[in-house]
Amino acid sequence: MAAVYAQKYPRHTDRWVLDSSGDPDPSRVARGWLANMSAAADDRFPDFAAWAADPKRDAAHRLADRPEDVRAAFLAVASALDRAPRTFKDGDHFPLTGNRLRQGLQQALYSREASFEPFARLVVAARDTTGPLEVPDVLPGGPIPQDAAAVMMAVTCNDVNWPSDVSPYTKDVAADRARHPLTAGMPVNVTPCAFWPGGATEKPTRVTSDGPSNILMIQNLRDPATPYRGALKMREALGDRARLITVDSGGHGAYLANGNACGDRLVTDYLTTGRRPAGDVTCGAE
């Protein structure tokens, strides 16, 4: 994590940019980051709802007549798939279950609106058709490759000690499912970290304001992975070391990721000239 490096080795940083920051609270590292994705999906979902209820959408992609009705429409389809998973016509894909659809939502919310179209088409097809689905399966399939899984789990599991008793996860999933039905408890569910040998190799680093004032943060308001509220915690922890660019956009990743000229310009100016905003800046939607 770049913030940890800047904390441990402040004299080895120059023009330091943090894009899409998480909550730096040591008690929230790793497990807390995953848990934050529940509320983060809620933050981002209105963008999808507005897209999927836009009158310009054709029937194959439009989930409701009003944005406020899209959430209920999605949840109804996911619930129906919990009870009766659907298959795909070509037969080469995993069945479409409620949790695969929810995972697909998280994936679609990560990116810009281009990812909304194939996902919305799948949701509409699952709702309005019978028999094997004839639309493309755009959702995550089986297990990720072992090399990628090993790296991801090694980093996550070694950050902190995870509960080895399954019962806390069961309790957290039930509570999270009620609070955040879009993700239905998945972000707080048990992971391989519960059974990881050895535990954390060192205590999490506490990020502070000690060090040079050379950090520029940029953050989307509606980030589905590292929510804005976590970035505000990072901004608070860094104090005068940092300035924050808030971008009125959704998706994960802000710089050169969402076409916001204001945010892109401010970061590029800093990297190329060393000029950093005197204070925090908000860049409107573009």
Q: What is the pLDDT of residue 111?
A: 83
As separate numbers, helices (DSSP H) first and strands (DSSP E) second, the chain gives 9, 4
Q: Do 137 and 122 meet the contact criterion of CB atoms below 8 Å apart?
A: yes
Give the DSSP letter of residue 118: H
Query: In this predicted model, what pLDDT tens digit does every residue of 135-176 receive, in sequence order?
Result: 999 887 666 788 888 888 888 888 888 889 999 999 999 999
pTM for the structure as a whole: 0.92
134-141 long-range contacts (CB < 8 A, ≥24 apart) are 134/88, 134/89, 137/88, 137/93, 137/94, 137/96, 138/104, 139/96, 139/100, 139/101, 139/103, 139/104, 139/107, 140/100, 140/103, 140/104, 140/107, 141/93, 141/94
**Structure tokens given for 96:** 């479409």
Q: Do 40 and 226 meet the contact criterion of CB atoms below 8 Å apart?
A: yes
**Structure tokens given for 250:** 């959704």
Q: Is the confidence at residue 51, as pLDDT, over 70? A: yes
Amino acid at 208: T
Calculate the average pLDDT of the chain: 93
Query: In this predicted model, what pLDDT tens digit does every residue of 53-103 receive, in sequence order?
Result: 999 999 999 999 999 999 999 999 999 999 999 999 987 778 999 999 999
Query: In this predicted model, what pLDDT tens digit does every residue of 179-207 receive, in sequence order?
Result: 999 999 999 999 988 988 877 777 889 99
| CA–CA dist 72, 47 (Å, integer) | 15
Query: In this predicted model, what pLDDT tens digit does every residue of 113-128 receive, in sequence order?
Result: 889 999 999 999 999 9
CB atoms within 10 A of CB 16: 21
Q: What is the pLDDT of residue 190?
A: 93
| CA–CA dist 222, 167 (Å, integer) | 32
**Structure tokens given for 215:** 């950090």
Instruction: Determine how β-strand 242-250 pairs with β-strand 16-19.
Output: unpaired
Q: What is the pLDDT of residue 142?
A: 67
